[in-house]
């Protein structure tokens, strides 16, 4: 399992090379394209540490390898502020403790940053961000509106994936319970076939109660 797979699995329960993994990557790539950015990333929330960790970067493989696992404190810089306020943030970078890829010109600096919180309902699970290294580049309010939409979609994707995984985790227990119920009904039928009608009526009553709950 690669580092990026490990972080997505650990913090978001997104399986490696899954449809959700690929779609999140595509969303960030689209965010980079439509806003004219140079690079985009997904950072996951580490609640225990109280910060964000880079888990995915679109733009260059070397950049992804360099940024992977680096941390941004909540409330620090544009990205940390988006996490703290749960709102899209746009501006010049103010947090300078992120190590950049060696592929970049040593004189290159982040000119503009935009970050949007990724939510499950009202719960923060991460932030997606785009950056530009081009002199004079500025993200617009319209860029922020579009990028906020991408973050909302990302949150829905993660929520769906986690719900489906939860159902999958329950499958063995459900299968075991179904087998136990079937075995009990079969035993009752063998001992007293005439009782099968009463068993069916009892199960129907239980079903109505569960449906009404």
Backbone angles phi, psi at 52, to 5 degrees: -110, 150
In angstroms, the Cα distances linking 144 to 35, 52, 74, 211 are 9, 20, 20, 44
Calculate ∠ Cα 96-116-155, nearest 5°: 130
Q: Per residue in 180-190, pLDDT tens?
A: 666 666 666 66
Q: If pLDDT is split at 50, 70 and 90, which confidence band does 171 have?
A: very low
Higher pLDDT, 77 or 163: 77
Domain boundaries along the sequence of the chain: 3-165, 171-212
Q: Per residue in 65-76, pLDDT tens?
A: 889 999 999 999
Name which of 41, 47, 108 is nearest 70 in CA terms. Answer: 41
Look at the pTM and tell me if it is higher than 0.75.
Answer: no
Q: Which fold has domain 3-165?
A: Beta-Lactamase (3.30.450)
* Residue 85, pLDDT score: 96
Distance CA 197, CA 208 (A): 17
């Amino acid at each position: 399992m690669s580092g990026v797979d490990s972080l997505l699995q650990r913090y978001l329960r997104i399986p490696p090379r899954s449809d959700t993994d690929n779609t999140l990557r595509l969303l960030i790539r689209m965010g980079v394209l439509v806003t004219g950015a140079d690079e985009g990333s997904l950072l996951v929330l580490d609640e225990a540490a109280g910060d964000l960790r880079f888990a995915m970067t679109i733009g260059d493989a070397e950049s992804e390898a360099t940024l992977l696992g680096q941390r941004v404190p909540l409330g620090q810089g544009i990205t940390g502020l988006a996490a703290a306020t749960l709102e899209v943030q746009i501006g010049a970078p103010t947090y300078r403790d992120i190590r950049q890829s060696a592929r970049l010109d040593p004189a290159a600096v982040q000119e503009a940053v935009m970050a949007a919180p990724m939510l499950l309902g009202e719960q923060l699970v991460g932030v997606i961000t785009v950056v530009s290294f081009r002199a004079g580049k500025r993200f617009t309010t319209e860029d922020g509106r579009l990028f906020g939409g991408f973050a909302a979609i990302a949150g829905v994707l993660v929520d769906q994936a986690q719900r489906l995984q939860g159902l999958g985790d329950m499958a063995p227990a459900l299968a075991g319970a179904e087998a136990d119920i079937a075995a009990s009904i079969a035993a009752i039928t063998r001992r007293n076939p005439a009782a099968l009608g009463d068993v069916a009526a009892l199960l129907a009553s239980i079903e109505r109660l569960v449906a009404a709950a």
